[in-house]
């Protein structure tokens, strides 16, 4: 059945900082509410805003967090463990680069870092239950990403082994989410082993079709891969449990295509843009999600190499609000309808039941 999306929501990760109003959960909620947001998605790694370990253990603390949001007319939409989820699976090629996501004590120690990450994501399951949340959002991490392009030729069985190992690491975590009544929605993102529909299916199959394995839908990543992001909703809507409203643009030239010449964001043919400034057909996105019964949150994830983030946040709240479709409860042509009449139907169809 069609459903009306909730929103606008705001992912706080790109806005948290050391100066007011971005330095505490209370301050940033007051700021977000002033822009018209109705919900906030919390980055659980940022201690300035949220204490994940405490939230997992203390109902009183979770009630305090929810109460702080409510005092500004907001609710918590989801908890995010993107950075911790990234560390559940790290190819050795990225060990040093991803160490920055982990606390100092486990840097340079891949096994200890992974154990820390797994525990973090598990804590988020318990914290989500205490906050009454139906879904959490994360990354899968990556073992296969260095082999995304098939050169050199991949050894036989490499991809299957990679997804089998990824599933082995995530299945106990997904079980923990099931125990806490919460879905784990992965953002399909280049740099992760699960980055499009096909790779999601391979992961889902390797994980035995786990019922808590879900999708955090973000059309920007699909536009930058040349993927049909509206058709994706038609195929995978049953697994979509969260939605990041993020925009992007792809402007190929005689010098650059999707890979963009290894240039930084400003000089890339494929780049993220502030909501409404890119090429994503959000009219189509909101329509498809509503049509397929997605009734959860539309959350702005702001990323742009040009626009100031505060301007993007202000414009994004109105953009999402304007795109949410309040679904109808009746057919537009009900005025021309008539009461059910089985005998008349038979006559119209030429059926003689005598």
Answer yes or no: are the C-beta atoms of 188 and 195 closer than 8 Å: yes
pLDDT band at 80 (very low <50, low <70, confident <90, very high): very high
**Cα distance between residue 305 and residue 294, in whole Å:** 30
Angle at the Cα of 310 from the Cα atoms of 305 and 312, rounded to 5 degrees:
55
Read off φ and ψ for residue 123, nearest 5 degrees.
Answer: -60, -40
pLDDT at residue 310, as a whole number: 98
In a domain, 119, yes or no: yes
Query: Range of 331's domain?
Result: 6-349
Q: Is residue 239 part of a domain?
A: yes
Q: For position 334, what pLDDT does the model report?
A: 81
Q: How many domains does the chain have?
A: 1
240 occurs within a structural domain: yes
pLDDT tops 80 at residue 354? no
pLDDT > 80? residue 90: yes
| Predicted confidence (pLDDT) per residue in 225-277, tens digit | 999 999 999 999 999 999 999 999 999 999 999 999 999 999 999 999 999 99
Beta-bridge mates of residue 40: 10, 76
Q: Measured between alpha carbons, how far is 70 from 78 in angstroms, rounded to an integer?
A: 15
Query: Which of 2-11, 183-192, 329-338 shows the lowest mean pLDDT across its residues?
Result: 329-338
The residues with which 80 forms a beta bridge, in sequence order, are 43, 137
Mean pLDDT of 52-56: 98
First-to-final CA distance of the chain: 38
pLDDT of 18 reads 98
Q: What is the pLDDT of residue 180?
A: 98
Predicted confidence band at 336 (pLDDT cuts at 50, 70, 90)? confident
CA angle 323, 325, 328 (to 5 degrees): 165
- Which residues are within 8 A (CB) of 183 and not within 5 positions of it... i.e. 6 or more apart? 134, 135, 136, 177, 212, 214, 241
pLDDT digits (tens, 9 = 90+) for 133-182: 999 999 999 999 999 999 999 999 999 999 999 999 999 999 999 999 99
pLDDT score at 158? 98
Assess if residue 354 is contained within a domain. Answer: no
Whether residue 152 is preceded by a cis peptide bond, meaning omega within 30 degrees of 0, is yes
Percent helix / strand / coil, the chain, rounded to 5 = 45, 15, 40
Q: Is residue 274 part of a domain?
A: yes
Q: Is residue 343 part of a domain?
A: yes
Q: What is the average pLDDT across 9-17?
A: 98
Per-residue pLDDT averaged across 23-40, rounded? 98
Residue 248 is predicted with a pLDDT of 98
CATH, residue 139: 3.20.20.150
| 284 in any annotated domain | yes
What confidence score (pLDDT) does residue 338 get? 82
pLDDT (tens digit per residue) in 264-299 = 999 999 999 999 999 999 999 999 999 999 999 999
- 140 belongs to a structural domain: yes
């Amino acid at each position: 059945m069609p459903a009306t999306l909730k929103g606008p929501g705001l992912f706080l990760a790109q806005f948290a900082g050391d100066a007011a109003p971005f330095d505490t959960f209370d301050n940033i909620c007051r700021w977000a509410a002033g822009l018209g947001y109705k919900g906030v998605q919390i980055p659980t790694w940022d201690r300035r805003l949220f204490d994940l370990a405490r939230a997992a253990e203390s109902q009183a603390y979770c009630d305090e967090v929810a109460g702080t949001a409510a005092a500004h007319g907001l609710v918590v939409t989801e908890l995010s463990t993107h950075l911790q989820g990234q560390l559940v699976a790290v190819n050795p090629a990225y060990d040093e680069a991803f160490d920055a996501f982990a606390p100092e004590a486990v840097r340079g120690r891949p096994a200890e870092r992974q154990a820390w990450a797994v525990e973090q994501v598990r804590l988020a399951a318990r914290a989500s239950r205490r906050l009454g949340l139906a879904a959490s959002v994360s990354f899968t991490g990556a073992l296969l990403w260095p082999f995304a392009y098939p050169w050199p030729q991949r050894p036989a069985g490499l991809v299957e082994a990679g997804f089998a190992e990824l599933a082995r690491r995530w299945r106990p975590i997904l079980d923990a989410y099931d125990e806490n009544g919460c879905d784990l929605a992965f953002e399909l993102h280049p740099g992760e082993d699960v980055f499009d529909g096909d790779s999601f299916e391979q992961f889902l199959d390797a994980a035995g079709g786990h019922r808590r394995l879900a999708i955090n839908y973000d059309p920007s990543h699909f536009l930058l891969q040349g993927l049909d992001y509206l058709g994706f909703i038609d195929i995978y809507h049953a697994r979509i449990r969260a939605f990041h409203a993020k925009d992007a643009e792809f402007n190929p030239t005689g010098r650059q295509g999707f890979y963009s010449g290894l240039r930084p964001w400003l000089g890339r043919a494929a780049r993220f843009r502030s909501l409404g400034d890119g090429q994503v057909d959000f009219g189509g996105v909101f329509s498809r999600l509503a049509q397929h019964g997605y009734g959860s949150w539309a959350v702005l994830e702001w990323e742009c190499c040009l626009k100031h983030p505060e301007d993007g946040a202000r414009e994004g709240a109105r953009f999402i609000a304007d795109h949410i479709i309040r679904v109808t409860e009746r057919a537009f042509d009900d005025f021309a309808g008539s009461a059910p009449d089985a005998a008349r139907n038979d006559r119209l169809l030429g059926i003689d039941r005598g």
